[in-house]
Structure 1
């Protein structure tokens, strides 16, 4: 890994933003993800989509809850952007907001809506360990919250079909 980073340096400027779909529409997920990839190009480091049921589980388990109940309407996009210059990153952030907020399909989402102990997305800092450990404390088969997680990588063009198969399976 270290040798690879010498050939292709890790861009020093990174940002993450979250957006919640206003309804469970995985066809919209495909359209938005495709547009993000097309229009942000190399600036798009990572795009994850988490199902709404996950956020319902998280909001039930957190200790430091907000006074109002979280309005969970659909899946949440996690968009990580990177650039070699802050000005370029700012352009990527602006383009991402433009894409994600167009047509009122999504809304900005912050973790504080379900857990007051979580950081605001503008305060997020990249670490290699974060992604691996993120859900370990929330998802488990039995107390005391032992990890039992999976990661499913699905082509965005097949996401809607995959979700439907999962619903049929349940």
Structure 2
């Protein structure tokens, strides 16, 4: 999700929260009879008179359509990030493009991670999060794996990524531990 969508979402959540808080406070005040004759003070006749107008169903339908479009845009902003197949590297000029194959990048980092005893690489994916490239590596650990060695292997994998992408690229490496498959122990699988 980009910064504009995140900012818009935060403002919308704040506004909806404030409206719900005000409605809850009004309901509590009504229940405790802190607002005398609250029902008599509510004048909904202006709204109820409009429901007989010919344009009313169209206005309600248009409002519903706008809400559906907003909901779809919200879902799209929160959709699972798609993996990038190719990464454009810094230093790309007008005459050509420097690109890295994300599969090869994941393979190189996963191979470095799998060098640690008790670690089985399961592949990974690459995506862009705002202005940062995120490389997610999946790996399974054997129960007896030394966590210090695993941490060192993760640092080596991050160093491989830094070397492949270059010092000008803002990148983050995530190592996600997955459940080990009993039939795959002792084998390194890189997808």
Q: Same fold (TM over 0.5)?
A: no
Question: Which TM-score applies when normalising by structure 2?
Answer: 0.30
Kindly indicate whether structure 1 or structure 2 has the higher relative contact order, using CA contacts under 8 Å at least 6 residues apart.
1
Give the greater-gyration-radius structure (CA). Answer: 2
Which structure has the highest helix share of the two? 2
Question: Which TM-score applies when normalising by structure 1?
Answer: 0.32
